[in-house]
Amino acid sequence: MKNIASKPVHRYDSGSIDLAAECLAAECLVHIYVNTKHVTSLLASPENLDELVRGHLQTEYDLHHHKTEFETHIKANEEEFIVEVTTDTELHLASRNTIVTTSCGACEQNQLTALIEQTPSVSNPSGQISIEALIRSLNEMRNHQPGFGQTGGMHAAGLYFDEEEELLVREDIGRHNAVDKVIGAMSSVSKSAPHALLLSGRCGWDIVSKAAKLDIPIIASIGAASTLAAETARASNMTLVSFAKSNRAVLIGPVEGRIERNH
C-alpha cells in the first residue's frame, strides 16, 4: 500500500460538476507489538512503517535510553498493518487501549503542568546556526515532499545536520508521525547528531517533547508555535524558530550561543 491513492470524486469547476479522479493521502491503521505484546495502534501513512515504529518507540517509550537493538516484521491486511518488533532486551512498556490518531499529540494526558514537567532539558548546541540556513533548509525540504505535492494532505519533518549534508526528510498524514519516521530513519544512516528539526507546518507540544527526548536543541517550522510548545521549549532549554519564511521568523527560547546574529 502506497502513501497516495487515486479515488473517484466529483469535481466542481466554473459552475459544472463532473466525475474525476483525485489523488488522496492514504491513511491506515498500524498495530505495534513488542515481543508479542500489543503496545499501541496508530493511524498513519502506510510507507516507511519500520521507521515509524522505531521513531515512535524512541520518542514515546524512551527506547533511545536503552540502546536497544530490535528487528521489525510487517504484516499487511487490507488497510491495516501489524508491525511485530522483537528484541533480546526485556522491556516493560505500558499498553495503550486507544488508537493514536493523526492529530493526537497528548491524548492520554489531562494536566498541562505534567506535559511540561515530563519534558527533558536539551543540551546546549556546540555551534551556532543562522536563520537564513534554516529557512533555506525549510525551502529545500519542499523538494522532498512528493506526497504533499500530489495530495496537499501530507506533513513533512526533516533533520538538519549542517549545510554540507543532505537533509533527511519523511512524510506522513500525521505531523507527529512524520517526526517519528525521520527520527526512526536517522538510526539507519551514519550522520552526526542533528542541529535542528524542521517542520512543514505548525509546532505543538507533542513535537517539542519528541525533539527534547532526542536532545535536538532547535525546531524550525513554517507555521506557528502553540502556547504550550513555547512554554515547554523555554522550560527545556529549546529554541523554536516559527513562521520561518522569506527573511523573517519568530524566535522563542534561548538565542545567545545558538542563533547567529548579523547585526
Report the alpha-carbon distance of residue 184 to residue 249 in Å, rounded. 28
Q: Determine whether 104 is an active site residue.
A: yes
Report the alpha-carbon distance of residue 135 to residue 199 in Å, rounded. 11
Of 28, 104, 107, 203, the active-site residue reads 104
Which residues have CB under 8 Å from 149's CB, separation 6+? none
Q: Which residues are catalytic?
A: 104
